[in-house]
Every structure is written in structure tokens, then in C-alpha cells.
Amino acid sequence: MSTGRRHALERALSKAGLCSRTQARDLVREGRVHLNGRVARDPEEPCDPERDEVRVDGRRLRENERVYVMLHKPRAYLTTREDPEGRHTVYELLANLDAWVVPVGRLDGDTSGLLLFTNDTGFADLVTNPASHVEKTYVVTTRPRLDAEALARLAAGVELEDGLTRPARVEKLGDRGRSTRFSITITEGRNRQVRRMVRAVGAKVDKLHRHRIGPLEIGDLPLGAWRALTTAEVTALRAAARSAKA
């Protein structure tokens, strides 16, 4: 057997996009990893994912099979694999996906919309790299209403605790009662950025929904459902990230 592609088991798990090497060591020590039909106990044990059968919690690890999916995330679902408080997580919605994937960026629990997953860590890093400036478009409902001056401030950039935001594209969609609905396109991925921007102009987000990342739109994908990205979609998003980064 060739040993040219043999890695430590923990590195093989990480390289496949399953988890970090620290998390991989924990998986092995917890007895959740099987190597060629037996429980693996040594994170440093060499293996070749192309030749050896590696399973984590019963699922086969396939290093060379790249998976890219989009999920229509509902509100009240956390972007994490497990929650100690027993709250819903996005991985419950991916239960019938026969692959280990990680989220490409995050959405907080109160935000719905487009969320990407992959086991291609290079792709995930490219899309989420701040230098890539990949556009993300949200539909926002705020309370109270925002006037034209406030929307213009959001577009120009507002000062947050971690610095001035980049210019954004803002389009008012209408007022209803005491609320304003608008879309905003940003090229950053700061923690809870849109919510903090809205707060900086004197309002609060009632609803927040992401419907686009780069050239990818959520379209008519039902709430709580997922689908695989097409090859053309993956190529287009990769190209958009590289173009913005150049």
C-alpha cells in the first residue's frame, strides 16, 4: 500500500473539512471515530482516507468528495453543531445530508435566510476572507421607521465599536405602521453587523433575512430546506470572491 497520502488521523479529519485538529483529537478520544472497522484511540495513528475506511459517528469520511450546499435557515436555529441548552441547530435540518460539512460564515439565531455549508475548507476561507469583499444582501425590517437621512448614513458607513463600516448599498422597500423595510448589501462579515448598524442610527431590527451571497440567491428554496449547489454556482461564487480580492 502506498503511504504517500497517509496522515495522522486527526489531520485527516481536519483536512476533510470535518472539524479543527483539536476537535478531531476529542472525537478520537471519545471513541467516535472508527478506522477500518475498529474504534480508533490514537489521534496520531496514520491513515489514508483514499484507501482506509474512516467513519465518524457512523458516517464515512470521503476526503475527495467535495460538497457544497445552501440552506434556507429559519429563525431560532443556531449556527452550531450542538447546543448545551438543547436549542435547535442548523445541523438538525441537514440530518439527511450524507456528508460532514461546516458553515461558510454564520447567521445568528434571530436571523433567517441563505447559509452555505461545505467540506471544502479552502473554498470556505476564500468566501469568508475579509479581503474578498463578497457581497451579502439582507432584507431588514426596523422599528421605529427610518427616514431618508438614516438610510443614507447606513449607505455611507456608520461608526461601530470595532470601527467604521464600509459603504453599503441601501434600497428602501417601504413603510408599514411604525416600521421601515429596506434591503442592504454589505461586503463585510462582522459579528451581528447589520443589527449594530441599525442600532447606530437609532432603531432596532425586528426581522433580518439574508437572501443573497455574491451571485447566489436563495430563490424559492423552502424554509428549512437545503439543496446542493450546482457546479456553475460554485464556480461563480469562487470567481466573485477572487475578483473582489484582486
Annotated catalytic residue within 108, 125, 162, 175: 108
Residue 235 inside a domain? The answer is yes
| Domain containing residue 141: CATH number | 3.30.70.1560
The answer on 202 and 108 residing in a single domain is no
Residues 16 and 52 in one domain: yes
Cross-strand bridge partners of residue 142? 180, 205
φ and ψ of 51, to 5 deg: -110, -35
Q: Is the dihedral of CA 178, 217, 239, 90 positive or negative?
A: positive
Alpha-carbon distance of 169 to 185, in angstroms, equals 5
Same domain for 45 and 107, yes or no, is: no
Residues 123 and 222 in one domain: yes
Same domain for 151 and 204, yes or no, is yes
Examine residue 1 and state whether it is found in any structural domain, yes or no: no
* Residue 229 DSSP label: P
Say how many domains are in the chain.
Answer: 3
Q: Is the pTM higher than 0.85?
A: no
Mean pLDDT of all residues in 53-64 = 79
Which residue, 137, 189, 198, is CA-closest to 166? 189
> Measured between alpha carbons, how far is 13 from 106 in angstroms, rounded to an integer?
22
Predicted confidence (pLDDT) per residue in 66-86, tens digit: 899 999 999 999 998 888 999
CATH code, domain with 37 = 3.10.290.10
- The per-residue pLDDT for range 21-48, each reduced to its tens digit, is 788 889 999 999 999 999 999 999 999 8
Give residue 119's pLDDT. 84
CA angle 166, 128, 13 (to 5 degrees): 165
Residues 12 and 114 in one domain: no
Domain match, 76 and 115 both = yes
What is the domain extent for residue 205? Answer: 135-213
In terms of domains, do 141 and 21 share one?
no
**Residue 208: beta bridge partners?**
140
Question: Is 108 considered catalytic here?
Answer: yes
pLDDT of 89-119, one tens digit each? 999 999 899 777 889 999 999 999 999 999 8
